[in-house]
Amino acid sequence: MNLVELNRVAEAMVAPGRGILAADESSNTIKKRFDAIGVESTADNRRDYRELLFRSSEAMSKYISGVILYDETIRQNGKDGTPLVKLISDAGSIPGIKVDKGTKPLPFCPGEVITEGLDGLRERLVEYRGLGARFAKWRAVIDIGPGIPSYTAIKANAHALARYAALCQEEDIVPIVEPEVLMDGDHDIDRCYTVSEWVLKATFEELYYNRVALEGMVLKPNMAVAGKKCPQRASVEEVADKTVRLLRACVPAAVPGIAFLSGGQSDEEATAHLDAMNKIGGLPWKLTFSYGRALQAAPQKAWSGKTENVAAAQRAFAHRARMNGLAALGQWKADLEKKAA
């Protein structure tokens, strides 16, 4: 393991004012996104859409530090034959790869899942590194509901995350460690806080036991937010305060940075929450974004599968990337959204 190189890449992934584009939607997920805009999910359409993002020079060169790719995408070439990975690195961004194989029901734990994909991961990481990936991502999913999460689900998922992270570092690939507590239920923000604290503490315990170097990883957690069906909505300030308090309690200062998932928040909500946290200041790690939908919903809608809409889609992407880049510096203002609109 080359810890100096791992740390260099991890620091670049959370560089000030820049964040990570999650463009690693599985075939099923991207089909749902394309169905919503009336576009057929073919290999060419998926390539064309992602190519327009990676060729969005303003967004990519100024605000996007890295891109998480899907297995299909890391192997694709652009229309002119240039590998998509090269488009990303030429823009000054770092290519990464999603390596988990998705979730399956966890035995004897009704309503809970385990992320699979450790079998053969060592060999896949060698191949992905050869294809240009410098970091990887593995997502663990923890749901909140009556009687869940269980100790079994948290322990099993934390252990798998740590095993994955160790295999990545052995191959000189920076692991993004993503333990996501879902916001799908009717729980309030305090319940989310309690479960997230448990999940993060279990995850860092497993990382320690698996000898993962914290200086060579990036954490991708959820924010402390109420469930979507909860009638009590927390204010932007409350989300920021509680999330920062949670992270201070759980995340060692050796971790270079924390890149939040948006997890079903609206575009502006995800930006406002990140900005409010950075305005608190005095934090030992950098706080930035690793958004999928919160960066892509606007450009997808603007594009709608039409070549003549590519420039409009790139403008929409550049705007969202810039807003989040400002939020990562604590310099975002809501009226910047209105001006653009």
Contact 219, 302 (CB under 8 A): no
Mean pLDDT across the chain, nearest whole number? 97
Q: Which of 98, 137, 220, 286 is catalytic?
A: 220
Pairing of strands 19-23, 64-69: parallel
Contact 54, 321 (CB under 8 A): no
| Number of residues that this document lists for the chain | 341
Task: State mean pLDDT over 265-293.
Answer: 97
Name 145's Cβ contacts closer than 8 Å, sequence gap at least 6: 111, 185
Q: Is 282 exposed, middle or buried (0-12, 13-18, 19+ CB in 10 A)?
A: exposed
pLDDT of residue 341 exceeding 60, the answer is no
Q: What is the pLDDT of residues 37-76, one digit of tens each?
A: 999 999 999 999 999 999 999 999 999 999 999 999 999 9
- What pLDDT, on the 0 to 100 scale, is given for residue 241? 98
Q: Which of 178, 180, 206, 242 is catalytic?
A: 178
What whole-number distance in Å separates Cα of residue 11 and Cα of residue 200?
21
Taking the alpha carbons at both ends of the chain, their separation in whole angstroms is: 47
What whole-number distance in Å separates Cα of residue 235 and Cα of residue 215?
33
What whole-number distance in Å separates Cα of residue 61 and Cα of residue 27?
27
* Plot region of 157 (φ>0 → left; ψ -120 to 50 → alpha; else → beta): alpha
- What pLDDT, on the 0 to 100 scale, is given for residue 5? 98
**Amino acid at position 322, single letter:** R
Which has the closest alpha carbon to 92: 131, 64, 123? Answer: 64
Q: What is the pLDDT of residues 96-145, one digit of tens each?
A: 999 999 999 999 999 999 999 999 999 999 999 999 999 999 999 999 99
Q: How many other C-beta atoms can be found within 10 angstroms of the C-beta atom of residue 271?
A: 27
What whole-number distance in Å separates Cα of residue 69 and Cα of residue 137?
9
14-15-17-18 Cα dihedral, nearest 10 degrees? -60
What whole-number distance in Å separates Cα of residue 105 and Cα of residue 107?
6
Second CATH level (architecture) for the domain 3-340: Alpha-Beta Barrel (3.20)
In order, the DSSP letters of 206-246 are: HHHHTT--GGG-EE-PPPS---TT-SSPPPHHHHHHHHHHH
pLDDT of residue 19 exceeding 60, the answer is yes
Active-site residue flag, 337: no
- What pLDDT, on the 0 to 100 scale, is given for residue 12? 98
Q: What is the pLDDT of residues 160-175, one digit of tens each?
A: 999 999 999 999 999 9
pTM: 0.97
Q: What is the pLDDT of residues 71-107, one digit of tens each?
A: 999 999 999 999 999 999 999 999 999 999 999 999 9
Active-site residue flag, 137: no
What whole-number distance in Å separates Cα of residue 164 and Cα of residue 170?
10
pLDDT of residue 338 exceeding 90, the answer is no
Q: What is the pLDDT of residues 170-206, one digit of tens each?
A: 999 999 999 999 999 999 999 999 999 999 999 999 9
What whole-number distance in Å separates Cα of residue 105 and Cα of residue 109?
8
SS3 of residue 289 by DSSP:
strand
Task: Tell how far CA 52 is from the center of its chain.
Answer: 20
- What pLDDT, on the 0 to 100 scale, is given for residue 266? 92
Name 215's Cβ contacts closer than 8 Å, sequence gap at least 6: 3, 6, 7, 10, 254, 255, 256
What whole-number distance in Å separates Cα of residue 46 and Cα of residue 40?
9
Q: What is the pLDDT of residues 296-306, one digit of tens each?
A: 999 999 999 99
Pairing of strands 64-69, 174-181: unpaired
